[in-house]
């Protein structure tokens, strides 16, 4: 199964250097976001894709992500950091494992 990344230029370059199978660069312009929507639909339909990593900002612009079991679609922060912040991540962990993370 392949890992695919969708996001901005800096994110894509980093993942390419790390050896990701496929990487697709999109900016946040309307045309590029529409291209990203179409690419995401195409990737979800492929049988050889196991994980799709998409930057949070691009995912937010795309809107609703496909609700599928496979491939797994994960939102990742870009070079500017997470849109959702530390508090949301703590809440997700608390719900998932029942333990609150403290600094």
The domain ranges of the chain are 2-97
19 torsion bin: left (phi>0), alpha (psi -120 to 50), beta (else): left
Distance (Å, whole) CA 36 – CA 91: 29
Q: What is the pLDDT of residues 26-60, one digit of tens each?
A: 999 999 999 999 999 999 999 999 999 999 999 99
pLDDT of residue 100: 62
Distance (Å, whole) CA 7 – CA 12: 6
Distance (Å, whole) CA 29 – CA 102: 38
Say how many C-beta atoms besides its own lie within 10 A of residue 3's C-beta: 19
pTM over 0.95: no
Tokens at 63, concatenated = 């809107």
Domain 2-97, architecture per CATH: 3-Layer(aba) Sandwich (3.40)
Q: What is the pLDDT of residues 55-98, one digit of tens each?
A: 999 999 998 888 888 898 888 888 776 666 666 666 656 666 66
């Amino acid at each position: 199964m392949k890992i695919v990344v969708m996001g901005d230029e800096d994110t894509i370059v980093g993942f390419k250097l790390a050896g990701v199978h496929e990487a697709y660069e999109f900016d946040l312009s309307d045309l590029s976001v529409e291209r990203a929507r179409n690419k995401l639909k195409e990737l979800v339909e492929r049988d050889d894709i196991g994980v799709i990593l998409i930057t949070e900002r691009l995912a937010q612009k795309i809107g609703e992500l496909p609700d599928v079991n496979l491939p797994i679609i994960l939102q990742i922060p870009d070079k500017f950091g997470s849109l959702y912040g530390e508090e949301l991540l703590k809440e997700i962990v608390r719900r998932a494992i029942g333990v609150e993370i403290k600094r």
